[in-house]
Amino acid sequence: MAILEARELVKIYPGGVKAVDGISLVFERGIYSIMGPNGSGKSTTLSMCSGVLKPTKGRVYVLGLDLWGKDWIEARRHIGFAPQDMPFNPKLSALDNLIWFGLLRNMSLMECRTSAKKLLMSVDLYESRNMLVGKLSGGMRRRLTIASALIHNPDVIILDEPGSGLDPKAKEDLWMYIQELVEDRTLIFSSHDAREVERFSKWTYIFHRGRVVAEGEPRKLIEEYVKHPYISVWFAKDVIPPEINGSRPLVFGSIAWYSLEDVDLPDVISYLRENKMPFKRIEIIEPSLNEVFIRLTGERLME
């Protein structure tokens, strides 16, 4: 039995937008990610897996309990969810906000206090526990968000874009706390940062337009889809990527990749200049999940 399993989820929003189009996911213990560009259905899927947004179709099982059926009360107890923007009360302190989230989870005031203080210590916010949430820095607020998802000690922690908007140092710190808090539980997070996904998740689901286009261990996906470094050329519109010195490129929309095994950067640049073929950008790419995404969809992960 999986810790959390989503089967054939579909979400059609009022107005007819099909945000999620038949997604199945399986999570065991450890850190998992959902990676995809804006609008690919990450938040919609995580909300359905957390019990806050009802699927149009499909099922979610948490430790075998039917989250959208008869077991919903018990199933929800096992899940801690932090949306992209946690609805804190800015006029309450960090401690009181955590207590409030515990009370919403039907915990006693005593249990809330004990758990809140322990979590504040774990995320290095204990000294700031009496600060109003409205006065916390972005990084501190994000650490409080993680703590509030954990207030009732759930088995599954679902974080929607925990690192977005943070500078690299704050992101690094945040992940240090997250990794310590997860221990042997299940963590599912969403991101459009390929490096974050590669570093912190053991398994990723790549989303595109409401579907899963690939899944696997980040390293293995890179090996499977990209293999070696390429020279990537972003051509201007209407240019057909040419063969250069016998090297035929892989073409995705207006992006062409030339294998570094066949040609080198000066050859490519001088060929394009001599033949007056305009391009917007040229770079050597070390394979990452960004390139896996381009390879699968012909689109960029982030603009």
Ligand X SMILES: Nc1ncnc2c1ncn2[C@@H]1O[C@H](COP(=O)(O)OP(=O)(O)OP(=O)(O)O)[C@@H](O)[C@H]1O
Which residues are near ligand X by CB under 6 A? 13, 15, 17, 19, 36, 38-44, 192
Q: Which is nearer to Mg ion, 194 or 263 (CB)?
A: 194
20-28, 38-46, 47-55, 105-113 -> range binding Mg ion (CB under 5 A)? 38-46
Q: Shortest gap between Cβ of 220 and Mg ion (angstroms)?
A: 26
Which of ligand X, Mg ion, none is residue 171 near (CB under 5 to 8 Å by kind)? none
Q: Which is nearer to ligand X, 83 or 139 (CB)?
A: 83
Distance CA 157, CA 149 (A): 7
Which of ligand X, Mg ion, none is residue 16 near (CB under 5 to 8 Å by kind)? none
Which of Mg ion, ligand X, none is residue 297 near (CB under 5 to 8 Å by kind)? none
Which of ligand X, Mg ion, none is residue 130 near (CB under 5 to 8 Å by kind)? none
Per DSSP bridges, beta strands 57-62 and 4-12 are antiparallel
Q: Would you count residue 164 as binding Mg ion (CB under 5 A)?
A: no
What the block records as the tokens of 75 is 């199933």
Q: Which is nearer to Mg ion, 52 or 121 (CB)?
A: 52
Q: Which is nearer to ligand X, 58 or 229 (CB)?
A: 58
Q: Shortest gap between Cβ of 283 and Mg ion (angstroms)?
A: 28
Q: Shortest gap between Cβ of 83 and ligand X (angstroms)?
A: 10
Q: Would you count residue 153 as binding Mg ion (CB under 5 A)?
A: no
**Position with the least CB separation from Mg ion:** 43
Cβ-in-10-Å burial (0-12, 13-18, 19+) of 245 comes to exposed
**SS3 at position 94:** helix
Residues with Cβ within 8 Å of residue 190, at least 6 apart in sequence: 33, 34, 35, 36, 42, 43, 46, 159, 160, 161
Q: Which is nearer to ligand X, 43 or 93 (CB)?
A: 43
Q: Shortest gap between Cβ of 82 and ligand X (angstroms)?
A: 14
Q: Would you count residue 43 as binding Mg ion (CB under 5 A)?
A: yes
Count Cβ neighbours within 10 Å for each residue of 140-175 and write b for 16 or more, e otherwise: bbbbbbbbbbbbbebbbbbbbbbbeebeeebbebbb
Chain centroid, CA 67 distance in Å: 22
- Tokens 């209407």 label which residue? 238
Q: Are 222 and 292 in contact (CB under 8 A)?
A: yes
Q: Are 41 and 19 in contact (CB under 8 A)?
A: yes
Q: Are 148 and 86 in contact (CB under 8 A)?
A: yes
Binding residues for Mg ion, rule CB under 5 A, total 2
Which of Mg ion, ligand X, none is residue 288 near (CB under 5 to 8 Å by kind)? none
Q: Which is nearer to ligand X, 125 or 301 (CB)?
A: 301
Chain centroid, CA 148 distance in Å: 19
Which residues are near Mg ion by CB under 5 A? 42-43
